């Protein structure tokens, strides 16, 4: 096992990794920007290193600075969390060259699954169903129009190196495709420094279902069930839950099998997520997230398995600590992302938190790095907390989430707590009638 791990991240996920390391008896190193010098992940790590100014590209995305911090502190491994460098094949390659263990998949797997068009082709060859679309990257607008004419409108243009909803544009007809194609390419270039895009058939109102998988260096692959992530705004998830009410036992097994086929196709190691769209009893692979997910706590709640600890053990060369038939799924869990933003306009709301009171009680978990007098920076993602509830069934999980949102206090900035409460009270949500278009009713 490792003696010391550097955490190449910030906020709640950095704290979450620190807690797992403490339980495993591993020392931790926090890296931070100048803006984060007073953050809780810095306070609770065993050591800390400032790696640059506030802007991410000069600190948390600065590969040289992160590697230097690991070397001067004698860290044996780096846990990237999610976001930032977590899916960077280049970063994983540098770690390998410097003989520092990257807690995640191998560089070649990051490269294959991080290039979304290439990932589509890889899982298609393995027999996993995908949406009809382009065979790889689309060269130009002319080719895009030919493909769209073949598969039929509506279509969606996606950044090949993308994620987080950036570089994605929907076209209902030829005229709209001509308009959005160059826009998507430019968005892809701005967000990922690569203008490559591909095209898929657009499903009007699917459910977004993802399966958590783990793989180890011994060739073992297991799944830990699904998460429903259909409630989104601009392809950014707002509410996640496990299990999905939409899946019959037969459909659940079919999707789980497909997820593991996709993982085996690239000899996957560590934690990852296979994402599907589900509509009219048909499911389709859309992408693989080659890292721990923001919403991993709901899986932990229904399985009782610590995914961060398992990531660390796998990276240290150990096999997965359980077999597929040893995983027991119990109850229901829901996660609401609490963001520093206006609940109506969705405008970011940085500032200082003047008062903070988290909810508690049975079946309630709060993953956060905020506190009273904490400064919410404009430089990073707007999520300030993850509120997770667990119940014996979905109704109990919703009830606990509703009462937790009612008593959660974050003052000094605007948050989406009231919006999340509206969702919990929505009759359609309570009935489980979900799709990726669910939030349309809340957006004017």
Residues with catalytic annotation? 291
CA atoms in the 13 A half-sphere facing the CB of 428: 13
Contact 55, 38 (CB under 8 A): no
Q: How far is CA 27 from CA 44, 190, 302, 311, 357, in A?
A: 11, 37, 29, 16, 30
Cα angle 279-282-287, degrees, rounded to a multiple of 5: 80
Q: Rounded to an integer, what distance in angstroms lies between the CA atom of residue 46 and that of residue 17?
A: 13
Contact 221, 229 (CB under 8 A): no
Give the orientation angle of helix 116-125 with respect to helix 107-114, to 10 degrees: 100
Contact 110, 87 (CB under 8 A): yes
Q: Rounded to an integer, what distance in angstroms lies between the CA atom of residue 380 and that of residue 368?
A: 14
Strand partners, 419: none
Number of H-type helices and E-type strands within the chain: 14, 20
Contact 5, 66 (CB under 8 A): no
Q: How far is CA 385 from CA 13, 371, 382, 410, 416, in A?
A: 10, 11, 9, 10, 11
């Amino acid at each position: 096992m490792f003696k010391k791990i550097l955490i190449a991240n910030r906020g709640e996920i950095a704290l979450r990794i620190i807690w797992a390391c403490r339980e495993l008896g591993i020392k931790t190193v926090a890296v931070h920007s100048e803006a984060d010098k007073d953050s809780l992940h810095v306070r609770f790590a065993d050591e800390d290193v400032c790696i640059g100014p506030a802007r991410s590209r000069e600190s948390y995305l600065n590969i040289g600075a992160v590697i230097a911090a690991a070397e001067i502190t004698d860290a044996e491994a780096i846990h990237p969390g999610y976001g930032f460098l977590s899916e960077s094949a280049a970063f994983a390659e540098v770690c390998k060259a410097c003989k520092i263990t990257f807690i995640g998949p191998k560089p070649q797997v990051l490269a294959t699954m991080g290039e979304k068009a290439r990932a589509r082709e890889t899982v298609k060859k393995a027999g996993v169903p995908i949406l009809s679309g382009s065979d790889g990257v689309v060269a130009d607008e002319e080719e895009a129009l030919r493909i769209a004419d073949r598969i039929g409108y509506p279509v969606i243009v996606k950044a090949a190196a993308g994620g987080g909803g950036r570089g994605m544009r929907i076209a209902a007809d030829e005229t709209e495709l001509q308009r959005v194609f160059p826009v998507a390419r430019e968005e892809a270039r701005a967000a990922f420094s690569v203008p490559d895009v591909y095209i898929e058939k657009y499903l009007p109102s699917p459910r977004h279902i993802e399966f958590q998988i783990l793989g180890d260096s011994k060739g073992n692959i297991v799944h830990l069930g699904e998460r429903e992530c259909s409630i989104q705004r601009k392809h950014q998830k707002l509410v996640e839950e496990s299990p999905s009410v939409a899946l019959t036992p037969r459909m659940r097994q079919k999707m789980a099998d497909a997820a593991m086929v996709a993982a085996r196709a690239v000899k996957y190691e560590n934690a990852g997520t296979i994402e599907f769209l589900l509509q009219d009893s048909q499911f389709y692979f859309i992408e693989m997230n080659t890292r721990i997910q923001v919403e991993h706590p709901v899986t932990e709640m229904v399985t009782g398995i610590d995914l961060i600890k398992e990531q660390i053990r796998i990276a240290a060369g150990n096999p997965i600590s359980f077999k597929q038939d040893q995983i027991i799924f119990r109850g229901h869990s829901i996660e609401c992302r609490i963001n520093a933003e206006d609940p109506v306009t969705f405008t970011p709301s940085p500032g200082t938190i003047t008062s903070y009171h988290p909810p508690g009680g049975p079946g309630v978990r709060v993953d956060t790095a905020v506190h009273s007098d904490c400064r919410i920076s404009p430089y990073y993602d707007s999520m300030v907390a993850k509120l997770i509830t667990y119940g014996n069934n979905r109704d109990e999980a919703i009830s606990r989430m509703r009462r937790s949102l009612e008593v959660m206090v974050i003052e000094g900035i605007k948050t989406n707590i009231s919006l999340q409460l509206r969702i919990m009270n929505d009759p359609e949500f309570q009935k489980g009638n979900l799709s990726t278009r669910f939030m349309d009713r809340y957006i004017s």
